[in-house]
Chain A
Amino acid sequence: MKAILALIIVAAGAGAFVYVLARRVAPLFRAAQGPQIDRVGERLFGLYHFPHHRMPRPGYADVGYSHISIILSLIVLSIHVLMVIYAGFTGLKLPGLDTTIGAGYAAISDIALTVLLAVCIFLAIRRGYMRPARYEIPEKYGKDKSRPWAVFLIGFLGAIALLDMLFLGSSAAAARAAGETYRFIPPLTGTWFASIIMGGFSGPAAASASTLFYFLLLIAIFVYINLIPFDRMFHTITGPATVFLKKLDKGSVKPVQWGVDDDKVADLESFGVKNFEDFTWKHILDFYSCADCGRCSEHCPANAAGRPLSPRFISLKGRDYAFSHYPMRGPFIKGEPLIGGIYEEDEIWSCTTCGACEEECPVTIEYIDKIIDLRRGMVDEGMVPQSLQKPLNALGKRGNPWGKMEKKRAEWTKDLPEGVEIKDLSGGDTTETLYFVDSITSYDDRMVELARATAAILSASGTDAGILGKNEKDSANEVRRFGEEMLFMDIREHNTAMIQDSGAKSIVTADPHALNALKKDYKDIPPTEHISEFVVRALKDKTVSFNPLDDTEKDKVYTFHDPCYLGRHNEIYDAPREVMDAIPGLKRVDMTRSRDRSFCCGGGGLMLFYEPEEDQRMGVLRVEMAKEAGADVIVTGCPFCLVNMEDAIKVAGLEGQMEAIDLSELIARQIKKQALAVQ
């Protein structure tokens, strides 16, 4: 009789669960191709590494360690749950309790259940009463209906743990009343308390209670797993898959279509994501995996500046689209295009691709690739803001976003400091080290100082260095990241040929956007390093050394602002700091948000041209952070950061109190010139 009842519950619960999952998986099969599952070892390591590194990041220790506890207890309990189900068919007796291993495992399960219940109680209180601000829903997305449901589901999980304790406790009490010895129950665990309480009843009463609790538990387990796929709780099932499938190469961009080589891309019928099913199956899986924790948006600089972008809602709107268009019953619903539907043009253009959201996401959801895919779709449909059309056209015609003449690209070399030399290779010369200048540093009145400083550093270290001159075009890092893939490919082809012709064995740049493009997007070119890495090496080789700071500079406090494409996308955090610390007399502090939590200056490349809707500039927020850290000088390692910082200092009214300088300028200012004399 009990076995039949158990069979009905298990069959109905499991059947329903399979059906629900099948409906949920359906859009993945209609989606675009996803990544190949390669580098399995690295991915398995990630499955171990990311949860305990990401979840308890500073500021999230409570919820992070709670989640780690839940995961560990669920891993422990996974076999126990199977045993519980199995027990339905063997007279409600858990198997293996009479063996040492079985009894030992049962005792550990008691502890795990207790941990699980305690954490669920804590999380329910936290979600229901403490209400961290990042869970709030912006007005435009309506009322927050998710909180009661979240509290209910976490409470439900706790209730399952409780029912299990009651079942185990009453089983123990019934066994003891019947004079049987029961396995060891660790004192002070939930099961232990339950066994004592149930011990107060008569044997038959405890046995009936055991049966009752068993069936309540069994029903609860199957109801619960069937509720999971309807909510953010789905992350408990799909999250591990998302972590396993995470993009492994930071700073890179997914191809237009997985499985289509670059030379075949031009033949594709459509580009990018226009409709929901144009997302890859991995990206739809990402939507399911969003735990709605709000960390991405809490760290998103666009969101902080009041731009119409909150990465959290990129995921949630995607997930809700999947839920509503792939309903549990009835035919799948064909949807409208995403832009103008669930996403807005300005929302998608607002992203600076800084990567703060991805760095923070505890389930390693990818945002940049989705944004780029949506932009590819918009570019293909001609939906590009007027402010970006001109620089894109100019990049196509002149190789730089301002449409300046190619022949003026090397004009900054006319005004080099005394004794500094750099070869212009456009005449056919070759070089050992190529300095890739990139557009802004070649043309901008202020930023050419960075080019001169970099040339001076290379010269002072005795490096045989040259530039491509008029043959250099923009690195096109942002051309690709703004969705104009074909233009990017044209420019890359040109630059690749020019770099190969230069005979260079290595490439140096002071522009992290160029660094990123050359390292991540280009192929068959020599290795590229940022000027900070070059100088760290030169310091070790003792080919350069620094003069101490002037007395006026010694009183100042310096801070390093990590550029997104140097830091997060290329993980170069230490080199610039080592260089600064090698300057005698330099006092350096870190801002609270530094290194992988750096706050974007406002964006580089084409982002300089975009006119966003925003309440204030990201740069101003950043300059205020530097002030808070007690800094007088912000050192950047990127020309775009410098543009934004210098502007922001003026806007913030901090002129005279705060200054910004590029690392290359700082190095060139402090570098000892003897090396030149030796040459």
Chain B
Amino acid sequence: MEILVCVKRVPDTSENEIEVGSDGTDIERDDLVYSVNEWDNYAVEEAIQIKDRVGGSVTVVTVGDDESEEVLRREMAMGADNGILLEDDAFEGSDGKGMAAILKGAVEKGNYDLILTGAQADDGAAQVGGMLAAMLDLPYAALVNHIEIQDDKKLKIGREIEGGNQEMNEIELPCVLSIQTGINEPRYVGIRGIRKVASVEIPTYGASDLGVDTGAVGEGAAKVKRLDYFVPEMGDGAEMLEGSTEEKVAKLIELLKAKGGMK
């Protein structure tokens, strides 16, 4: 099975202290460390496990710049066979739809049976997977947490739905799936693994290579624009507990007891 996984390089939330920048349209990006978007990492692991079961290949693709290459290499160290970097000045400032349009170009350059994306990335929009499927006119399922290969035409997939319930579906190939975390346990990628793929050639495609209309992507074409970026003001009823962890816990227990949430 030929599988394409769309990945993104994002600031690592567990290893950064995220602060909103002074102009209020973005976070402070000095001193940030980046990694592959967590959901995407699960998607790549799933793709590799499928490949190990039924054969084929796994390709990882990202839209970005030279620095984005590091996440492609990381995922290749994990076991993806190929990496593709989509880079063009015209891509900068794209909204979700723009991103989907760029990725569509990459999908059409190959011959993929299955396209995976993470359910969402750092911006929490969770839109690219769905739009990509629509543009490709392929079936789509979101928040997939289980994949079984039925045959070369069909998959059986599980989705997590409201209230922790589980839904099982059959979906026809080729299709696009957005992957939920917890679908598997992604393997560890050590420094050694990354060094081993350090010199593997990663092709870079621009708008013209992909046959993407530069008028349909980038900042100019973006129909969704970020206006403001801020930490919400504390509303009534919200209380931030202060002090050491133990003090916070003690206060929380006190509050829960006072409000009858704990006896």
- A positions within 8 Å CB-CB of B: 266, 271, 379-384, 386, 388-390, 392-394, 396-398, 403, 405, 407, 445, 484-487, 490
Given A403-B12, A403-B15, check contact A486 B190 (CB 8 Å).
yes
Question: Hey, which chain A residues are within 8 Å of B192, CB to CB?
Answer: 266, 271, 380, 485-486
With beta carbons under 8 angstroms apart, the residue of A271, A384, A403, A445 that contacts B188 is A384
User: Could you write out 11 A-B pairs with CB less than 8 Å apart?
Assistant: A383-B188, A386-B186, A390-B14, A393-B15, A394-B15, A397-B12, A397-B35, A403-B12, A405-B16, A445-B245, A487-B191
Given A397-B33, A445-B244, A486-B195, check contact A403 B14 (CB 8 Å).
yes
Q: Helix, strand, loop or mixed for chain B's interface?
A: loop
Chain B nearest Cβ from A384, distance in angstroms: 3
Question: Hey, which chain B residues are within 8 Å of A487, CB to CB?
Answer: 190-191
Does B67 touch A at the CB level, under 8 Å? no
Does B187 touch A at the CB level, under 8 Å? yes
Contact in complex: B188, A389 (CB < 8 Å)? yes
Given A394-B14, A397-B12, check contact A384 B244 (CB 8 Å).
no
Contact in complex: A403, B33 (CB < 8 Å)? yes
Contact in complex: A407, B245 (CB < 8 Å)? no
For the complex with contacts A382-B187, A397-B12, A397-B35, 6 further pairs of A-B residues with Cβ separation under 8 Å are A380-B193, A382-B189, A383-B188, A396-B191, A397-B15, A485-B192
Question: Hey, which chain B residues are within 8 Å of A403, CB to CB?
Answer: 12, 14-16, 33
Question: Hey, which chain B residues are within 8 Å of A445, CB to CB?
Answer: 244-245
Question: Hey, which chain A residues are within 8 Å of B239, CB to CB?
Answer: none
Given A386-B185, A390-B14, A403-B15, check contact A398 B190 (CB 8 Å).
no
- B positions within 8 Å CB-CB of A: 12, 14-17, 31, 33, 35, 78, 185-193, 195, 244-245
Question: Hey, which chain B residues are within 8 Å of A394, CB to CB?
Answer: 14-15
Question: Hey, which chain A residues are within 8 Å of B195, CB to CB?
Answer: 266, 486
Given A380-B190, A487-B190, check contact A398 B244 (CB 8 Å).
no
Q: How far, in angstroms, from A382 to B195 measured CA to CA in the complex?
A: 14
Contact in complex: A490, B191 (CB < 8 Å)? yes
Q: How far, in angstroms, from A382 to B79 measured CA to CA in the complex?
A: 10
Q: Which residue of B lies closest to A384 (CB)?
A: B188
Question: Hey, which chain A residues are within 8 Å of B16, CB to CB?
Answer: 403, 405
Q: Which residue of A lies closest to B245 (CB)?
A: A445
Q: How far, in angstroms, from A520 to B78 measured CA to CA in the complex?
A: 32
Contact in complex: A379, B12 (CB < 8 Å)? no
Q: How far, in angstroms, from A407 to B191 measured CA to CA in the complex?
A: 24
Closest 10 CB pairs of A and B: A382-B187, A403-B15, A384-B188, A486-B191, A397-B33, A486-B192, A382-B188, A487-B191, A389-B188, A394-B15
Contact in complex: A484, B244 (CB < 8 Å)? no
Question: Hey, which chain B residues are within 8 Å of A407, CB to CB?
Answer: 31
Chain B nearest Cβ from A626, distance in angstroms: 22
Question: Hey, which chain A residues are within 8 Å of B187, CB to CB?
Answer: 381-384
Residue of B15, B193, B195, B245 with most partner-chain A CB within 10 A: B15
Q: Which residue of A lies closest to B14 (CB)?
A: A403
Question: Hey, which chain B residues are within 8 Å of A397, CB to CB?
Answer: 12, 15, 33, 35
Chain A nearest Cβ from B139, distance in angstroms: 31
Given A382-B188, A445-B244, check contact A405 B31 (CB 8 Å).
yes
Contact in complex: B188, A398 (CB < 8 Å)? no
Chain B nearest Cβ from A446, distance in angstroms: 9
Question: Hey, which chain B residues are within 8 Å of A486, CB to CB?
Answer: 190-192, 195
Q: How far, in angstroms, from A397 to B185 measured CA to CA in the complex?
A: 21
Q: Which residue of B lies closest to A490 (CB)?
A: B191
Q: How far, in angstroms, from A407 to B192 measured CA to CA in the complex?
A: 27
Q: How far, in angstroms, from A407 to B32 measured CA to CA in the complex?
A: 12
Q: Which residue of A lies closest to B190 (CB)?
A: A379
Chain B nearest Cβ from A660, distance in angstroms: 15
Chain A nearest Cβ from B45, distance in angstroms: 9
Q: How far, in angstroms, from A266 to B191 measured CA to CA in the complex?
A: 10
Question: Hey, which chain B residues are within 8 Å of A398, CB to CB?
Answer: 15, 33
Chain B nearest Cβ from A192, distance in angstroms: 68
Chain B nearest Cβ from A322, distance in angstroms: 29
Q: Which residue of B lies closest to A378 (CB)?
A: B188
Contact in complex: B185, A393 (CB < 8 Å)? no
Chain B nearest Cβ from A481, distance in angstroms: 15
Q: How far, in angstroms, from A555 to B94 measured CA to CA in the complex?
A: 71
Chain A nearest Cβ from B42, distance in angstroms: 11
Chain B nearest Cβ from A274, distance in angstroms: 14
Contact in complex: A405, B188 (CB < 8 Å)? no
Q: How far, in angstroms, from A271 to B190 measured CA to CA in the complex?
A: 11
Chain B nearest Cβ from A73, distance in angstroms: 52
Q: How far, in angstroms, from A381 to B195 measured CA to CA in the complex?
A: 14
Q: How far, in angstroms, from A379 to B190 measured CA to CA in the complex?
A: 7
Question: Hey, which chain B residues are within 8 Å of A490, CB to CB?
Answer: 191
Chain B nearest Cβ from A376, distance in angstroms: 10
Q: Which residue of B lies closest to A489 (CB)?
A: B191
Chain A nearest Cβ from B259, distance in angstroms: 26
Given A266-B192, A383-B187, check contact A393 B245 (CB 8 Å).
no
Contact in complex: B17, A392 (CB < 8 Å)? no
Contact in complex: B17, A405 (CB < 8 Å)? yes
Q: Which residue of B lies closest to A390 (CB)?
A: B14
Contact in complex: A392, B12 (CB < 8 Å)? no
Q: How far, in angstroms, from A397 to B36 measured CA to CA in the complex?
A: 13
Contact in complex: B191, A484 (CB < 8 Å)? yes
Q: How far, in angstroms, from A407 to B187 measured CA to CA in the complex?
A: 30
Contact in complex: B190, A484 (CB < 8 Å)? yes
Question: Hey, which chain A residues are within 8 Å of B193, CB to CB?
Answer: 380, 382
Contact in complex: B35, A382 (CB < 8 Å)? no
Question: Hey, which chain A residues are within 8 Å of B191, CB to CB?
Answer: 396, 484, 486-487, 490
Question: Hey, which chain A residues are within 8 Å of B185, CB to CB?
Answer: 386
Question: Hey, which chain B residues are within 8 Å of A390, CB to CB?
Answer: 14
Question: Hey, which chain A residues are within 8 Å of B245, CB to CB?
Answer: 445
Q: Which residue of A lies closest to B188 (CB)?
A: A384
Q: Which residue of B lies closest to A381 (CB)?
A: B187
Question: Hey, which chain B residues are within 8 Å of A381, CB to CB?
Answer: 187
Chain A nearest Cβ from B7, distance in angstroms: 16
Q: Which residue of A lies closest to B15 (CB)?
A: A403
Q: How far, in angstroms, from A271 to B192 measured CA to CA in the complex?
A: 9
Q: Which residue of A lies closest to B48 (CB)?
A: A382
Q: How far, in angstroms, from A407 to B33 measured CA to CA in the complex?
A: 13
Question: Hey, which chain A residues are within 8 Å of B188, CB to CB?
Answer: 379, 382-384, 388-389, 392
Q: Which residue of B lies closest to A389 (CB)?
A: B188
Q: Which residue of A lies closest to B35 (CB)?
A: A393
Q: How far, in angstroms, from A397 to B74 measured CA to CA in the complex?
A: 13
Q: Which residue of B lies closest to A485 (CB)?
A: B192
With beta carbons under 8 angstroms apart, the residue of B12, B14, B15, B78 that contacts A382 is B78
Question: Hey, which chain B residues are within 8 Å of A405, CB to CB?
Answer: 16-17, 31
Chain B nearest Cβ from A377, distance in angstroms: 11
Question: Hey, which chain B residues are within 8 Å of A392, CB to CB?
Answer: 188, 190
Q: How far, in angstroms, from A388 to B185 measured CA to CA in the complex?
A: 12
Question: Hey, which chain B residues are within 8 Å of A383, CB to CB?
Answer: 187-188
Q: How far, in angstroms, from A379 to B191 measured CA to CA in the complex?
A: 10
Q: How far, in angstroms, from A490 to B192 measured CA to CA in the complex?
A: 11
Q: Which residue of A lies closest to B79 (CB)?
A: A382
Q: How far, in angstroms, from A396 to B193 measured CA to CA in the complex?
A: 13
Chain B nearest Cβ from A184, distance in angstroms: 70
Q: How far, in angstroms, from A176 to B124 measured CA to CA in the complex?
A: 103
Chain A nearest Cβ from B200, distance in angstroms: 16
Question: Hey, which chain B residues are within 8 Å of A386, CB to CB?
Answer: 185-186
Q: How far, in angstroms, from A403 to B15 measured CA to CA in the complex?
A: 4
Q: How far, in angstroms, from A389 to B33 measured CA to CA in the complex?
A: 16
Chain B nearest Cβ from A326, distance in angstroms: 31
Q: How far, in angstroms, from A373 to B186 measured CA to CA in the complex?
A: 22
Q: How far, in angstroms, from A445 to B245 measured CA to CA in the complex?
A: 9
Q: How far, in angstroms, from A484 to B195 measured CA to CA in the complex?
A: 13
Q: How far, in angstroms, from A486 to B196 measured CA to CA in the complex?
A: 12
Q: How far, in angstroms, from A398 to B35 measured CA to CA in the complex?
A: 12
